[in-house]
Amino acid sequence: MLRSLFISLSKSEWAKDQIMRWDFAWNMATRFVAGETLESAIEVVRTLNEKGINVTFDHLGEFTATPEEARKAAEDAIAMLDAIEEIDGRAGISIKLSQMGLLIDKSLCAEHLRMILQSAKTHGNFVRIDMEDATTVDDTLALYRQMRSEGFENVGVVLQSYLYRTEADMEVLLREAARVRLCKGAYKESPDVAYPKKADVDVNYDRLVDMMLEAATRHGAPRLSPDGRIPPLPAIATHDELRIANAKRVAEKLGLPKDALEFQMLYGIRRDLQEQLVAEGYPVRVYVPYGTQWYPYFMRRLAERPANVWFLLSNLLRE
Ligand SMILES: Cc1cc2nc3c(=O)[nH]c(=O)nc-3n(C[C@H](O)[C@H](O)[C@H](O)COP(=O)(O)OP(=O)(O)OC[C@H]3O[C@@H](n4cnc5c(N)ncnc54)[C@H](O)[C@@H]3O)c2cc1C
Residues known to be catalytic: 130, 181
Domain-embedded: residue 3 = no
Q: Is 7 in the pocket of ligand 1 (CB under 6 A)?
A: no
Average pLDDT over residues 185-192: 95
Q: How many domains does the chain have?
A: 1
Average pLDDT over residues 150-161: 98
Atom of ligand 1 nearest to the CA of 303: 41
Q: What residue numbers bound the domain in which 286 lies?
A: 33-293
Report the Cα 282 to chain-centroid distance in Å.
18
CATH code at 76?
3.20.20.220
Confidence at residue 318, expressed as pLDDT on a 0 to 100 scale:
66
Domain-embedded: residue 275 = yes
Domain-embedded: residue 313 = no
Domain-embedded: residue 28 = no
Domain-embedded: residue 92 = yes
Residue 319 has pLDDT above 60, yes or no: no
Q: Is 154 in the pocket of ligand 1 (CB under 6 A)?
A: no
Residues 110-141: tens digit of each pLDDT: 999 999 999 999 999 999 999 999 999 999 99
Domain-embedded: residue 90 = yes
pLDDT band (50, 70, 90) for residue 303: confident
Whole-number Å distance, alpha carbon 164 to ligand 1 midpoint, is 19
Q: What is the residue type of 133?
A: D
pTM (2 d.p.): 0.95
- Ligand 1 atom 44 nearest Cα: 269
Are 39 and 86 spatial neighbours (Cβ–Cβ below 8 Å)?
Answer: no
Q: What is the mean pLDDT of the chain?
A: 94
Residue 316 has pLDDT above 70, yes or no: no
Whole-number Å distance, alpha carbon 305 to ligand 1 midpoint, is 9
Q: Is 160 in the pocket of ligand 1 (CB under 6 A)?
A: yes
Domain-embedded: residue 268 = yes
Whole-number Å distance, alpha carbon 264 to ligand 1 midpoint, is 10
Residues 4-57: tens digit of each pLDDT: 888 888 888 888 888 888 888 888 899 999 999 999 999 999 999 999 999 999
Domain-embedded: residue 1 = no
Residues 223-249: tens digit of each pLDDT: 999 999 999 999 999 999 999 999 999
Confidence at residue 2, expressed as pLDDT on a 0 to 100 scale:
76
Q: How far is CA 179 from CA 107, 171, 197, 283, in A?
A: 23, 12, 27, 15
Whole-number Å distance, alpha carbon 285 to ligand 1 midpoint, is 14
First to last CA, the chain: 25
